[in-house]
Structure 1
Amino acid sequence: MHINQVKTRFAPSPTGVLHLGGARTALLNYLFAKQSNGKFYVRIEDTDKERSSTQNSQSIIESLQWLELTWDEEIVFQSHNAKKHINIAKHLIDAGHAYYCFKQQEENTNGSFQSDKIINPWRDALVHQFPKDKKPTIRLKVPLHGKITLDDLVQGPITIENRHLEDVVLVKSNGDPTYMLSVVCDDHDMNISHIIRGDDHISNTFLQLHIYQAMKWDIPKMAHIPLIHNPDGTKLSKRKGAIDIQEYKNAGYLPLALCNYIAKLGCGFQDREIMSIEEMIQLFRIENINKAAARIDFDKLKYVNACHIKRYPKDKLVHLILEHIDNEMVITHNTEERIHNCYDAVVKRAVLLTDLVQTTKMYLPEFTPMYSDMAKTLLEKSNITLLENATFQLKHIKDFYKPNIENTIKCLAKEHNVKLVSIAMPIRACLTGITQSPCIFEMMQIIGKLDTIKRLEQGIAYARKT
C-alpha cells in the first residue's frame, strides 16, 4: 500500500463522552486534513465491550456535530471489523510474529514498559503442548533483541530497546480482538496517512510499530500531542476535570470560540488570537505544537468566546437567541423585531451566549421582572414618592427617545437635590429585576413607553407592599 492523499482520523473510545482533550485531538486532525485537501474520518473504537456504550457513542457524535467538525464518509465502528482483526492475528501466528498463550491472566492488553522482558513460556511452545481445557489469548511476539524507533512529528525521534516491551495481548481468550491490534488494522484498511493523538499513546505506539513491520505495511506518520492540564497542573482526564463538551454548549460557549481556544492550547498560529475556522486551517502547522502540556485558562476561554460573540453574524446570533428564548417563554410576532432593536446594546456586554439570552429577555414585551434579593432590598429602601414622580414625568414625554428620557431623569434628580444613582438604581430594579444591566435610558427607549411605565408601576406596587 502506498499512501498519497492525506487522511487523518479521530478515533475516540465510547467508554466516556467527548471532553476537551478529545475535542482538541479531533480539531487538529480536521485542520491538518482540510489544509492538505485530504480526508478526515471518524472511527468509534468500541473494542472495550464492557465499558463502551451506544449512549456515549451518540454523545460523541453529537458533540462533533456541534463543533462543526464534519467528517468524510460514514463513521467506522471498530467492533464491526472484528473478524478481519482476528484473521490478521492468525496471519501473524502463521508468520511467526504472534503466538497462543495459555496464561491464566490476560494482563496488559495495552502497552507497557518493563525493566527487562520476562520471557513468556508459551512463546515457542509446540501445538502438542497446548492444554485442551483452556482457551488461549494471542500475543504479539516482540523481538527479544534490538531497538525500535518512533519518528514523531512533535516529540522527535524516540528509541526504545525491544527487551523493555511486553508481548501484548492481541486477541483475548473470549475471541475478542484488543485495541492494540484493531487500531493498527483499521488504520491500515482506511489508508490513514497521519495519526495525530495524545502523547499518552506513545507507549502503545512502539508495539503497534512492531505489528506494522510484521505485516509489512506502510507506517503512517505519527504526531503525539501533549495533553491538556487543569489550571493546577494536574492531568485533564475523563476522571478529573474533563468536562463533557455538551456542558460547554449548555454553558453558552460558541462552537467556533471553543475550537479557537483549544486549537491554540500549546500550538502557535503566528500570534493570531481570534480566528475563523478557515484561518485555523490555513495557519495550522504540526511543527508549531509544543512538547509541554498546556494548562487550560477558563478566563481566557471566556474572553475568546466574548470576542466571537461580537464577530458572529447578526442574523445567525439572533436565531440562536430565539432558539433559547423559545424554550423559556411564549414568542410573539414582535419578539424578533425587539431582539434586533436591542442587539447592539446586549452584544457588547455578553461573555457567554447564556448571558446574551438572559439580557435580551429583559427587552422583550413578554418579560416579567423577577426581583433578585438585591433588587428587593433596593426597592424596599427606595424613595417611593421619587419613583412615582419619575414615572409621572416619563409618562408625559412626547418623543420617547434616549436623550429625552435621560434628560428627564437627570432634571428630576437635580430638582430633588439627589444623585442620579438614587433614581436610576430603583428604576433599573423595576425594569430588569436586577441591579446591573445595560444603560437604562437606552433600554427604556427600546422597550417603549408602555412597557416602561408598566414595569415601573409593578416595582412601585412591590415597594408599597413592603
Structure 2
Amino acid sequence: MSSTFDKVRTRIAPSPTGFLHLGTARTALFSWAYARHHGGEFVLRIEDTDVARSTQDSVDQIIAAMNWLGLNYDEGPIYQMQRLDRYQAVVEQLISEGKAYRCYATPEELDAMKEAQQARGEKKLYDRRWRPEPGKVLPAPPEGVKPVIRFANPVDGDVTWDDLVKGTITINNREIDDLIIVRTDGVPTYNFAVVVDDWDMRISHVFRGDEHINNTPWQINIFNALGAPLPQFGHLPIILGDDGQKLSKRRGAVSVTAYADGGYLPEAMLNYLARLGWSHGDDELFTAEQMVAWFDGSHLSKSPAQWDPAKLDWVNGHYLKQIDEGRLADLVVTQLKAKGIQATAEQVQPKVGLFKDRCATAAALADWLAMYFAPVMPSVEDLAAYITDAVRPALAVLAERLSAMTDWNKAGIQQALKETLAATGLKMPQLAVPVRVLVCGRSQTPSVDAVLEHFDKKKVLERLHSI
C-alpha cells in the first residue's frame, strides 16, 4: 500500500446503462477481496453521468447483483449526478490555475480539423486552438456556441506507472490530447469525474478492465494537476467468451442476475470468477473467506481469461451438493414457480437428495422435480419404443400390486416390482424403463423404487393406467 494513504480503499464504479455484467462482477470481486484482505474499505459508486442511457432499473439490478454475490460495501451507493456542484468547483479551480480552458470549437470545425490531419497522415488529435498560451491571441468567443471545458494536458514528457497487473507502463504525452472534461451541458466526462471521485473518496487502489489503460495517462495527469495522491492501478485482462471474442454488455455477456435466476449459487459464481485471471497454487475450489485470506494482489494473470460454461457448471455442481437441503429446497421452489409450478419447501426437501448429484444448477434440479407437481408428457419416441404390447400386461400387473399396498414406501414398491417380474418373466430394465416413461415422463431416472416412493400413490396409478 502506498504510504500516501492511511488505509486500503477500493471501489467498483459501474455505469447504470445496463446490467452488471461478468467482467464488472469479477472486478468488483477482486476490489472487494483486496480491501478485505488488507482490513480496508470497499466503496460502491454509480457512474450515472451518461444521463440519456442511465436507468433506475439498471441501478436496482446492479445493487441486487452485488447483494446476491455477497460483495458488501462499506460506503455507497454514491451517485455522480448528485456531485455536479463538486465537479464544477474543481473545474473552476483548474481554469483559474490555467490547467483547464473553455473550447468553442464547433463539431464541424473539429471534423474539418481531423480530416486535414488525416490527409496529412497525422494522428487525429485536438490542435489546442482554444488553449491559452503566452503570446497567443484567442478570438472572441462566438455567439450562440456553448463551450466544452478541456484539460490542458502536458505537451511533453511521459506518463509512467507501475501497474499491479501489467507491470511498468509508459505513454508519451504527445500521444494524447487536451481531453474534454465537461460537456456543453455542464456534465463532466468519465475521465474527469472519476479522478475527482477517487480523490474525494480516498481510493488507494483501482482495479479495472484493461480497456481503461489508454484513459489512465489522462487521469494521472489530472491527479497531478490537482495535487491529489495517486492510487495504484491494476488493469485486468478481458474475459473472452467461448467464441474467443470479448464478453461485453453489447456482445453476449449474460448478467449476473441472470445466473442467479438460472439456479446458480453465489458462492460458486464467486469461486469461478476468482479463477478467471487469478490463482492460488492449484486450488480450484475455495470459499470467499479463503480468497480474502489469499488475495494480496499478486498472482494476477496478464493474459485474457476464457469463460467456460462447463467449468462453471462443474463448480456450481460441487457447491450444490454441499449446501443444506433446506436452502436447496427453497431454491428449487423458486425455480418451479418460474415454470408456473406451485410447490412448498416441505414438499420439495425430501426429494432433493435423490436427484442433486445429477444436477449442476437448481434449475436443473427443478426440471427433475417438476414431475412430482405437474403433469408429464412422455415423448412420442419413448412411448413408441417402450410402451409396447409385450409390456402392457406387466404394467397392469404392477399397477394391481401397487394398488394393494397399504404402506407406500420404497421396500414395498421394490417388492411389487419383483413380484411383477416373477409373474411375467420380464427383466428389470424391461419393466422399469416403461414405468419411468409413464410416471416420470422420461426413460432415465435414479432407482425406480426410490423415485416412485416420493410420488403420491394415486398419481402413480393414474399414470400407469394412462396407456
TM-score normalised by structure 2 residue count: 0.89
| Matched residue SS, 1:166 | coil
CA displacement 1:87-121 (0-9 Å, x = unmatched)? 2122112212212111112979xxxxx85855311
Task: Identify the range of structure 1 (308-317 vs 374-383) with the bigger mean alpha-carbon deviation.
Answer: 374-383
Number of the residue aligned with 2:388? 381
1:394/1:461 CA distance change after superposition, 3 Å = closer
- The aligned runs of 1:78-227 (5 Å cut-off) are 78-105=80-107, 115=123, 119-124=127-132, 129-227=140-238
CA displacement 1:180-209 (0-9 Å, x = unmatched)? 110000111111111011000010111000
Q: Is the 8 A contact 1:378 1:429 kept in 2?
A: no
Equivalent AA in structure 2 for residue 98 of structure 1? A
CA displacement 1:22-54 (0-9 Å, x = unmatched)? 111111111111111211111110111122222
Equivalent AA in structure 1 for residue 354 of structure 2? A
Give 1:240 shift. 0.7
Number of the residue aligned with 1:68? 70
Number of the residue aligned with 2:465? 461
Match of 1:31 among 29, 33, 42: 33
In 1, Cα distance between the equivalents of 2:10 and 2:374?
Answer: 49
CA displacement 1:375-410 (0-9 Å, x = unmatched)? 544565362211011122233456654345335424
Number of the residue aligned with 1:371? 378
Match of 1:77 among 64, 76, 79: 79
In 2, Cα distance between the equivalents of 1:373 and 1:132?
Answer: 77
In 1, Cα distance between the equivalents of 2:309 and 2:328?
Answer: 23
In 1, Cα distance between the equivalents of 2:164 and 2:254?
Answer: 28
Give 1:261 shift. 0.7
Number of the residue aligned with 1:272? 283
Give 1:246 shift. 2.0
In 1, Cα distance between the equivalents of 2:84 and 2:137?
Answer: 27
Give 1:78 shift. 0.7
Q: Is the 8 A contact 1:14 1:56 kept in 2?
A: yes
| Matched residue SS, 2:161 | strand
Structure 1 residue 426 corresponds to structure 2 residue 434: yes
Equivalent AA in structure 2 for residue 314 of structure 1? E
In 1, Cα distance between the equivalents of 2:428 and 2:330?
Answer: 37
| Matched residue SS, 2:171 | strand
| Matched residue SS, 2:281 | coil
Long gaps (5+) in structure 1: 109-113
| Matched residue SS, 2:107 | coil
Match of 2:446 among 438, 451, 455: 438
CA displacement 1:63-103 (0-9 Å, x = unmatched)? 21222211113310011111211221221122122121111
1:336/1:204 CA distance change after superposition, 3 Å = closer
Match of 1:360 among 365, 369, 377: 369
| Matched residue SS, 1:288 | coil
| Matched residue SS, 1:320 | helix
In 1, Cα distance between the equivalents of 2:328 and 2:231?
Answer: 41
In 1, Cα distance between the equivalents of 2:346 and 2:83?
Answer: 54
Q: Is the 8 A contact 1:310 1:348 kept in 2?
A: yes
In 2, Cα distance between the equivalents of 1:172 and 1:326?
Answer: 48
CA displacement 1:137-159 (0-9 Å, x = unmatched)? 11111111111102110011100
In 1, Cα distance between the equivalents of 2:187 and 2:346?
Answer: 59
Task: Identify the range of structure 1 (401-410 vs 354-363) with the bigger mean alpha-carbon deviation.
Answer: 401-410
Match of 1:251 among 262, 265, 273: 262
| Matched residue SS, 2:5 | coil
Equivalent AA in structure 1 for residue 350 of structure 2? N
In 1, Cα distance between the equivalents of 2:330 and 2:426?
Answer: 43
In 2, Cα distance between the equivalents of 1:116 and 1:376?
Answer: 69
Number of the residue aligned with 1:111? none
Q: Is the 8 A contact 2:10 2:35 kept in 1?
A: yes
TM-score normalised by structure 1 residue count: 0.89
| Matched residue SS, 1:99 | strand
Equivalent AA in structure 1 for residue 352 of structure 2? Y
| Matched residue SS, 2:76 | coil
Match of 2:421 among 405, 408, 413: 413
1:307/1:374 CA distance change after superposition, 3 Å = farther
Q: Is the 8 A contact 1:252 1:353 kept in 2?
A: yes
Q: Is the 8 A contact 2:30 2:274 kept in 1?
A: yes
1:229/1:305 CA distance change after superposition, 3 Å = same
Count of matched residue positions in the alignment of Structure 1 and Structure 2: 449
Give 1:304 shift. 0.7
1:136/1:116 CA distance change after superposition, 3 Å = closer
Long gaps (5+) in structure 2: 112-121
In 2, Cα distance between the equivalents of 1:78 and 1:338?
Answer: 48
In 1, Cα distance between the equivalents of 2:77 and 2:258?
Answer: 24
In 2, Cα distance between the equivalents of 1:376 and 1:246?
Answer: 38
Q: Is the 8 A contact 1:228 1:294 kept in 2?
A: yes
Match of 2:353 among 316, 322, 344: 344
1:178/1:126 CA distance change after superposition, 3 Å = farther
CA RMSD of aligned residues (A): 2.4
Give 1:338 shift. 4.2
Number of the residue aligned with 1:16? 18
**After TM superposition, which residue ranges in structure 1, 4 or more long, deviate above 6 angstroms?**
none
Q: Is the 8 A contact 2:313 2:361 kept in 1?
A: yes
Q: Is the 8 A contact 1:14 1:52 kept in 2?
A: yes
